[in-house]
Amino acid sequence: MIRIEAVRGDITRERVDAIVNAANNSLLGGGGVDGAIHRAGGPRILEECRLLRSTRYPDGLPTGEAVATTAGRLQARWVIHTVGPVYTRDADRSGLLASAYRRSIRLAAELGARSVAFPAISAGVYGWPMDDAARIAVTTVREVAEKEPVGTLELVRFVLFGPAALTAFEEALAG
Ligand code: AR6
């Protein structure tokens, strides 16, 4: 049975086994939560990302997929990098956003993580409306928790930066 919860905070300070990074296809860093994770975790994370680019992902990590690296100096054991879609009204990319959550949870379970923290993927620079992002996040995590083998995973925590994001996730969890 997996517990799913939402808290307000800075994800880089979480004491969980795996922290999910809302990265971009390059895997080579950026702003937002990605910048914060690389700053707090130190250069070893970027070193492993560069290695991944020169081996498994020469063209970058495809949107909706996930890959793990060390967490460097963070308290966590792994950073799981995933790439959410850029929001657009012209197409429905919600399947890709769901995939980013699904693949991250699967990877956390494969790694043997007991706890994993997620930011609100795609809901910053990538422009996804927060309420919808929260609904997709919660629905997907619940679905995976119910239908798939999750190994030792017992806690999924959404760590939200601002009060509006926290409210959106609390409402999605209550729904
Ligand atoms: N802890 C928790 N949440 C945070 C933190 C933090 N330390 N910092 C920001 N957020 P974003 P995206 C929130 O833009 O939309 C990067 O440049 C933020 O308020 O980080 O998936 C990447 O390299 C928002 O609610 O991710 C990509 O190029 C949420 O995290 C691009 O941004 C996600 O915002 C990805 O955009």
**Residue pLDDT, tens place only, 91-141:** 999 999 999 999 999 999 999 999 999 999 999 999 999 999 999 999 999
pLDDT exceeds cutoff 90 at 170: yes
Nearest CA to ligand 1 atom 24: 124
In terms of C-beta density within 10 A (0-12 exposed, 13-18 middle, 19 or more buried), how is residue 171 classed? middle
Contact 116, 157 (CB under 8 A): yes
The mean per-residue pLDDT over the stretch 55-82 comes to 98
Pocket of ligand 1 (CB under 6 A): 10-12, 22-24, 30-34, 36, 84, 119-126, 159, 161, 165
CATH number at residue 35: 3.40.220.10
Distance 36 CA to ligand 1 centre (A): 9
pLDDT cut 90: percent of the chain above it: 99
- Is the pLDDT confidence value at 144 over 90? yes
Number of structural domains found in the chain: 1
Nearest CA to 118 out of 37, 40, 20, 38 is that of 20
**Catalytic residue positions, numbered:** 34
**Is the pLDDT reported for residue 5 higher than 90?**
yes
Query: CB–CB of 37/49 below 8 Å?
Result: no
The stretch 64-68 carries a mean pLDDT of 99
CA of 21 to the centre of ligand 1 (A): 8
- Please give the distance, rounded to the nearest whole angstrom, from the Cα atom of residue 150 to the centre of ligand 1: 26
Q: Kindly report the protein residue whose alpha carbon is nearest to atom 21 of ligand 1.
A: 122
| Rg from Cα positions in the chain | 15
**Which domain, by its residues, includes 28?**
3-174
69 pLDDT more than 90:
yes
Pairwise CA distance, residues 157 & 63, whole Å: 22
Please state, in angstroms and rounded to a whole number, the distance separating the CA atoms of residues 131 and 147. Answer: 24
Dihedral of CA atoms 112, 117, 118, 119 in degrees, nearest 10, equals: -150
Give me the half-sphere count of Cα atoms (radius 13 Å) on the Cβ side of residue 13: 7
Percent of the chain with pLDDT over 70: 100
Report the pLDDT value the prediction gives residue 175, as an integer from 0 to 100: 87
The answer, as to whether pTM is greater than 0.75, is: yes
pLDDT tier at 1 (50, 70, 90 boundaries)? confident
Q: What is the mean pLDDT of the chain?
A: 98
